Amino acid sequence: MDTARAKGNPMGVFQPLKLAAFAGLPRGFRSSLGDEGAMPELDGAIGWLNSAALSRKSLRGKVVLVDFWTYTCINSIRPLPYLRSWAAKYKDAGFVLIGVHTPEFSFEHEPANVENALRHLNVAFPVAIDSDYRIWQSFNNQYWPAQYLVDGKGRIRYHHFGEGDYSDIEGAIELLLKEGGATGVASGASSVSGAGIEAAPDWTDGQSPETYIGYRQARNFASPEKLHKDSVQVFNAPVNLSLNHWGLSGSWNVNAESAVLQAVPGKIVFRFHSRDLHLVLAPGKNARPVRFVVRLDGAAPGENCGGDIAPDGSGEIREPRLYQLSGKKAPSRTGPSKSSSSILAFRRWTSRSARNFEERITGHSVRSQGRQIDDKTQEAAMSTNAVRGIDTSVAPVDMKVEVIVIPVADVDRAKEFYGKLRWRLDADFRFENGTRIVQYTPPASGCSVQFGVNLTSAAPGSAKGFLVVSDIEAARDALVATGIEVGEIFHIGPGGQVSGPDPERRSYFSRAWLSDPDGNGWLLQEVTTRLAGRVDTSATSFGSASDLANAMRRAEAAHGEHEKRTGQRDENWPDWYAKYMVAEEAGTELPK
């Protein structure tokens, strides 16, 4: 899931029901689905497509599935065959499917682009255009895709995040229809299969996550030049390209959410390992078509070509959307057995010189799986030139801790606990071999935790970790209020452990223990000033609004002392505040 847009999840996380049988339910049967509150109004939409505006009142008596999606997200596209099937199968029984299109990229805010996407994707059910995020926020939604199932009384009875579990969702639809008195409801899961970009993923061999090209979320940029934000820059393709790294060649302007080609030739090179490769592409402001060519390991893709390119690798960008560059052609086809390189090169539409070149290519997001992982091994690069040979000797790599695995005995029990901590649920993947992976991320943390089935041989409860908070008393009070058991606060004194917080409130001294139901321990530590060298001063960040506010208050107090010492009013106090806050966070010398 794209966790950068998390808005909070007061409803908690739905535990998928294993609904084994739906036939023969007695009349008046009430399902065991929970009640998660009234469905919010849908009046936040800026417009509707395929329908007049719908409301809670007009939907009364209907079973409604509200599907949050965005048209450039592969995870939102692959469920479409199921959604179409349910809309047709249960329409006469009182079922209504509503899509809520909430945009990710700026061009997705435009109703005309959404309307074109609906035609391209053959979406005929009602769609609310939620470009202002008002419906998203009223549902407290966090994910694309997300489904909320509403009964005939307007109550949310079920929700599901991400792809998969289609038989469970359909079973819940059937239960609520029968609960509402519908008769003759067809029972049993629909037989659905998608083709092309809608083909179901294969989770067995994917190793490449979603990759962003805009600097706001970009990772693993491998061109030798340092990227300068929002400026025209000439790049060279990397000589050595490691898995899931990418680079640019040619003249580009990299902005927060995209990279815009300034003149031909230009290319994007990406090394990936998955069955399918998708890239969000858009023409320039003049909307003139842009031609490109794809090479896989230096050759035309042939049978590995995606639905938007020819076997010779040629393609054309006519509208902003998700383009499939490499993909599954038939159920029996498998991808190469090794990681590959793909090159996307851009060609001039007319014979005009490069200096008069007006067609601009915008690369937004490379989705070798969407937000979940497909299974084909290939390397994608976009260019008119062949990919250079891959040298396995790699220079030192910028590495960050991404995930810590903790051992648990009961996955659902652990999921309930970490949900109470108000950590963000990133994923809950289930595989046919019984493996399950659940991932949570603490607020503003760069590192996540995973637990599940078949992840680790460590004994449940054997893990220990450290959590940083800016105010340990406030943090403990907040946790206790949610029902979490937290030990008493203590600090480290000259003779060892002493009850209560550190009298001087020194960083790292005030602590408290909490444990999950399996006994995995987490030590809370109050930290307001990091140890010297602990934080990169070029990338200083604050974990929450309260952390930032507290840092500003400390800077204000220190600045008051600074003005007393100098005897002058400092007109450049914002600069002084900034230097103080960064130095304090990084543990370097504070300004005088």
CA–CA dist 352, 283 (Å, integer):
17
Q: DSSP character for 304?
A: G
Residue 396 has pLDDT above 70, yes or no: no
**Domain shared by 265 and 164, yes or no:** no
Q: Which of 382, 411, 430 is the last residue of a domain?
A: 382
Least confident of 268-282, 417-431, 534-548: 534-548
Is the residue at 472 inside a domain?
Answer: no
Is the residue at 491 inside a domain?
Answer: no
**Domain shared by 145 and 223, yes or no:** no
3-state secondary structure of 474: helix
**Domain shared by 137 and 278, yes or no:** no
Closest Cα to residue 439, out of 90, 6, 100?
Answer: 6
Question: In this structure, are residues 39 and 155 in contact, taking their beta carbons and an 8 Å threshold?
Answer: yes
Question: In this structure, are residues 345 and 295 in contact, taking their beta carbons and an 8 Å threshold?
Answer: yes
- If 0-12 CB within 10 Å is exposed, 13-18 middle and 19+ buried, where does residue 316 land? middle
What's the alpha-carbon Rg for the chain, to the nearest Å? 27
Task: Work out the percent of the chain whose per-residue pLDDT is above 90.
Answer: 40
CA–CA dist 213, 221 (Å, integer):
8
CA–CA dist 526, 473 (Å, integer):
9
* φ, ψ (nearest 5 deg) of residue 504: -95, 0
Q: DSSP character for 186?
A: -
Task: Work out the percent of the chain whose per-residue pLDDT is above 70.
Answer: 78
3-state secondary structure of 552: helix
**Domain shared by 175 and 283, yes or no:** no
Q: Are strands 321-326 and 448-453 parallel, antiparallel or unpaired?
A: unpaired
Distances (CA, A) of 539 to 229, 535, 582: 15, 8, 9
**Domain shared by 19 and 96, yes or no:** yes
CA–CA dist 558, 566 (Å, integer):
13
pLDDT of residue 109: 93
Span 320-333, average pLDDT: 68
Residue 124: give the domain boundaries: 3-192
- The overall average pLDDT reported for the chain is 79
**Domain shared by 151 and 42, yes or no:** yes
Residue 311 has pLDDT above 70, yes or no: yes
Q: DSSP character for 188?
A: S
Q: DSSP character for 257?
A: S
User: Which tokens belong to 488?
Assistant: 């008493």
**Domain shared by 219 and 105, yes or no:** no
Q: Is the pTM here over 0.75, yes or no? A: no
Is the residue at 367 inside a domain?
Answer: yes
Q: Is the dihedral of CA 132, 136, 138, 142 positive or negative?
A: negative
User: Which tokens belong to 310?
Assistant: 């020819």
Span 358-375, average pLDDT: 41
Q: Which of 382, 400, 435 is the last residue of a domain?
A: 382
Closest Cα to residue 248, out of 256, 236, 260?
Answer: 236
Question: In this structure, are residues 372 and 2 in contact, taking their beta carbons and an 8 Å threshold?
Answer: no
Is the residue at 529 inside a domain?
Answer: no
Q: Is the dihedral of CA 523, 524, 529, 533 positive or negative?
A: positive
Is the residue at 117 inside a domain?
Answer: yes
What single string gives the DSSP state of each residue in 518-544?
T--EEEEEE-SSPPTTSS-GGG---SS
Span 104-126, average pLDDT: 93
Name, in order, each residue with C-beta under 8 angstroms of 477's C-beta and a sequence gap of 6 or more. Answer: none
Using alpha carbons only, give the angle 158, 160, 165 rounded to the nearest 5 degrees: 110
User: Dihedral, CA atoms, 191, 196, 201, 207, nearest 10 degrees?
Assistant: 170
3-state secondary structure of 169: helix
CA–CA dist 123, 135 (Å, integer):
20
Identify the residue whose tokens are 């999606």: 69
Span 334-345, average pLDDT: 54
pLDDT of residue 545: 66
CA–CA dist 194, 331 (Å, integer):
10
Is the residue at 510 inside a domain?
Answer: no
Span 130-154, average pLDDT: 93
**Domain shared by 71 and 20, yes or no:** yes
Is the residue at 400 inside a domain?
Answer: no
Residue 500 has pLDDT above 60, yes or no: yes
**Domain shared by 221 and 184, yes or no:** no
Q: Which of 334, 361, 382 is the last residue of a domain?
A: 382
Kindly report, residue by residue over 255-301, the tens digit of the pLDDT. Answer: 998 999 998 889 999 998 888 899 999 988 777 888 999 998 888 98
Span 236-244, average pLDDT: 89
User: Which tokens belong to 395?
Assistant: 């220079």
Closest Cα to residue 345, out of 287, 279, 276, 254?
Answer: 279
Q: How many alpha carbons fall within 13 Å on the CB side of residue 357?
A: 23
Question: In this structure, are residues 274 and 377 in contact, taking their beta carbons and an 8 Å threshold?
Answer: yes
- If 0-12 CB within 10 Å is exposed, 13-18 middle and 19+ buried, where does residue 247 land? buried
User: Dihedral, CA atoms, 388, 391, 397, 399, nearest 10 degrees?
Assistant: 90
Name, in order, each residue with C-beta under 8 angstroms of 216's C-beta and a sequence gap of 6 or more. Answer: 256, 257
**Domain shared by 38 and 187, yes or no:** yes
Higher pLDDT, 407 or 578: 407
Name, in order, each residue with C-beta under 8 angstroms of 226's C-beta and a sequence gap of 6 or more. Answer: none
Q: What's the domain count of the chain?
A: 3
Residue 26 has pLDDT above 70, yes or no: no
Q: Are strands 156-161 and 290-296 parallel, antiparallel or unpaired?
A: unpaired
**Domain shared by 270 and 127, yes or no:** no
Is the residue at 183 inside a domain?
Answer: yes
CA–CA dist 289, 361 (Å, integer):
9
Question: In this structure, are residues 271 and 243 in contact, taking their beta carbons and an 8 Å threshold?
Answer: yes
Give the count of beta carbons closer than 10 Å to the beta carbon of residue 586: 20
**Domain shared by 171 and 245, yes or no:** no
Closest Cα to residue 452, out of 479, 484, 425, 486?
Answer: 425
Q: How confident is the model at residue 390 (pLDDT cuts 50, 70, 90)?
A: very low
Q: How confident is the model at residue 329 (pLDDT cuts 50, 70, 90)?
A: low
pLDDT of residue 379: 34
CATH number of the domain that 228 lies in?
Answer: 2.60.120.260
CATH number of the domain that 120 lies in?
Answer: 3.40.30.10
